[in-house]
Copies of this chain bind each other. A is one copy, B any other.
Amino acid sequence: MKLQFAAWPEVEEYLRANAGIIVPIGSTEQHGPTGLMGTDYIIPSAMAEAISERTGICCTPPITFGMAQHHLGFPGTISLRPSTYVSVLVDVIQSLARHGFRRIVFLNGHGGNIAPVLTAMNEFYAGISFHREGGHRDVLCKLISWWTPPKTAAEITEIFGDGDGAHATASEIAVTQFLHSRYIKPVSADLRPARKGAVSDIHNAYDYRDRFIDGRIGSDVRLCTPEGGQRVFDVATDEIAEECMAFFSS
């Protein structure tokens, strides 16, 4: 069930037999000279819908903006402050917990979201932990960044190898090519693999743009094809569906 297309009695019905839900999260931010600004929410949203269609698991609409302050040096990037993002996620958890959801998966498409999502979960949990009387003790949250489950990670390595990179990765751009072929951007012949870097090289937006001049980190977008994207999408969708089912029944 896709929450946005349900009416509330259908949700009520769902909750009689289920307590799990998937919330797709991501970002609207630069993805290099050829990647889509919406890459990071488009992918987990599409994955959540695919999982929902196959398994009946309820998924919400995506949270389209995330924590992307380091990409603000490139036009079009929209970022929430980390503290704002934490508040958003806490409110979403509390809304869902109120209705009886007890297992909440954040299906994430953006590395920069990982720390604030974990922080938000702990902010929610802290409200419970500080008070002896605390409600919602059985509400458990889980973060899944779609490219990290082992089979998915292996598939990405097999297809894109070292050229996948760390931002505006070949794999994520390929998945968007599969999902939205209408918006495939041509890769100019002289677009070389981007300079490599680690998460610890990411600081503010000025520093970022100085280090990574076209926005990508380490990715070789010449490797992207819709077919490669589809392979990754299929493996990830299967694997994440299984992870969700296991978590929901824990």
A: residues with CB less than 8 A from B are: 3-9, 11-12, 15, 28, 30-38, 41-42, 60-65, 67, 69-70, 72-84, 86-88, 91-92, 94-96, 98-100, 112, 114-116, 118-123, 125-126, 128-135, 137-138, 140-142, 180, 182-183, 185, 200, 203-207, 215
Residues of B contacting A134 in the complex (Cβ-Cβ under 8 angstroms): 204, 206
Q: Nearest Cβ distance between residue A34 and chain B, in whole angstroms?
A: 6
Q: State the CA gap A32–B3 with chains docked (Å).
A: 14
Instruction: Report yes or no: B82 in contact with A84, Cβ–Cβ below 8 A.
Output: no
Residues of B contacting A137 in the complex (Cβ-Cβ under 8 angstroms): 204, 206-207
Identical copies of this chain, number: 6
- Which of B4, B100, B119, B128 is close to A37, meaning CB atoms less than 8 Å apart? B4
Residues of B contacting A200 in the complex (Cβ-Cβ under 8 angstroms): 142
Instruction: Report yes or no: B37 in contact with A11, Cβ–Cβ below 8 A.
Output: yes
Q: A78 with B64: in contact, given A137-B206, A205-B129 (CB under 8 Å)? A: no
Q: A65 with B65: in contact, given A77-B8, A95-B79 (CB under 8 Å)? A: no
